[in-house]
Amino acid sequence: MPVSTTVTGMVLSAMPVGEYDKRLVILTTEKGKITAFAKGARRPNSALLACSGPFAFGEFALYAGKSSYNIVSAEISNYFGELREDFDSLCYGFYFCEFADYLTKENNDEKNILKLLYQTLRVLTKKTIDLQLVRAVYELKIMALNGEMPQVFSCVKCGDLTSGADAFKGQEAEGRYYFSPRSGGILCGNCCIHDRSALEINTSTLYTMQYIISKEVESLYTFRVTDTVLRELQRCVKRYLECYVEHEFKSLEILNVSENRDGFSNTSRSI
């Protein structure tokens, strides 16, 4: 008999297979991203029915087949059912899972990305922070955790700027910071000539990006920003992803329609 093992993880996606089965993609702490089959999960009385939907987080007992895993049982500690009660939150949740699916790999250490995804879905259910801010934070942080973060602590062209935002002392009054995705991060006022398409941002936006990249996941969603900072942050992250993520997310089209419909909401407690 195959030896079973138990992993802790979250279902990123579920696809019907055959008449009654499901193919699940699960992000786990032990094995990174895996594919597992839940046999009979589409039967109304199946014990695997509840654990075979997106967002389900818990412990999965499984055994290895020839080319994939098969789920024996599961103990789910959080279904994030609140997401299904709000269309916008559900769209964001699907997008965050799809992004994690795209970046993660089997047998990689993906604990931090799993933690980020879990904490982000929790924030979505609480509805205490602007959803568009949650998205920008998630996108920038997941890129950082994947080793593809922009340089926001010093000018990417000036080798002698090494102390983060303080290194730009003297420029703060003018607010002359420039974000250049093509250059891989921040340009100072003197070096912005290297990229005429760089986005000028203010001090608060720069500090916000530094905060997102440097803080632990547990401390990420503890702030709000002004509308101006949110717009600048969104533009920077969007342009950065366009440069470094060569993938079209299926869930993004609906999400973008939702964001354009809702517009920008007022925020408080600025960084």
CA-to-CA distance for 247 and 184, rounded, in angstroms?
Answer: 19
d(CA 115, CA 112): 5
Q: What pLDDT score was predicted for residue 52?
A: 93
Phi then psi for residue 77, to 5 deg, are -95, -20
267 close to 226: Cβ distance less than 8 angstroms: yes
What confidence tier does 210 reach under pLDDT thresholds 50, 70, 90? very high
Task: Label residue 261 by pLDDT band (50, 70, 90).
Answer: low
Closest C-alpha among 60, 201, 210, 73 to residue 137: 210
In Å, how far are 26, 29, 87 from 34, measured between CA atoms? 5, 11, 28
Q: What is the pLDDT of residues 45-61, one digit of tens each?
A: 999 998 999 999 999 99
CA dihedral 121, 117, 251, 53 (to 10 degrees): -70
* Contacts of residue 86, Cβ cutoff 8 Å, sequence gap at least 6: 127
Class of domain 4-78: mainly beta
Alpha-carbon gap, residue 125 to 14, rounded angstroms: 21
The CA distance from 250 to 76, in Å, is 27
Tell if the pTM clears 0.85, that is, is over it: yes
Cβ neighbourhood burial of 259 (10 Å; 0-12, 13-18, 19+): middle
pLDDT for position 158: 83
The pLDDT of residue 267:
40
Q: What is the pLDDT of residues 24-42, one digit of tens each?
A: 999 999 999 999 999 999 9
Q: Which of 26, 55, 33 is nearest to 104 (CA)?
A: 33
The mean predicted confidence, pLDDT, of the chain is: 89
In the chain, what percentage of residues exceed pLDDT 90?
77
Q: What is the pLDDT of residue 135?
A: 96
Per the model's pLDDT, the better-predicted residue between 75 and 65 turns out to be 75
Per-residue pLDDT reduced to its tens digit, 184-206 = 999 998 899 999 999 999 999 99
Q: What mean pLDDT do residues 163-182 have?
A: 61
Selected residue with higher pLDDT from 1 and 215? 215
Greatest alpha-carbon span in the chain? 70
Q: Report pLDDT digits (tens) over 141-168.
A: 999 999 999 999 999 998 534 334 444 4
pLDDT at residue 268 is higher than 60: no
Q: What is the pLDDT of residues 89-112, one digit of tens each?
A: 999 999 999 999 999 999 899 999
Tell me what pLDDT residue 54 has.
96
- Adjacency order of strands within the sheet including 185-187: 185-187, 177-180, 199-201
Question: Residue 257: which pLDDT band, with cuts at 50, 70 and 90?
Answer: confident
What residue spans define the domains of the chain?
A: 4-78, 129-271
Residue 53 and residue 11 in contact, taking contact as beta carbons nearer than 8 Å: yes
Q: Residue 258: what pLDDT? A: 72
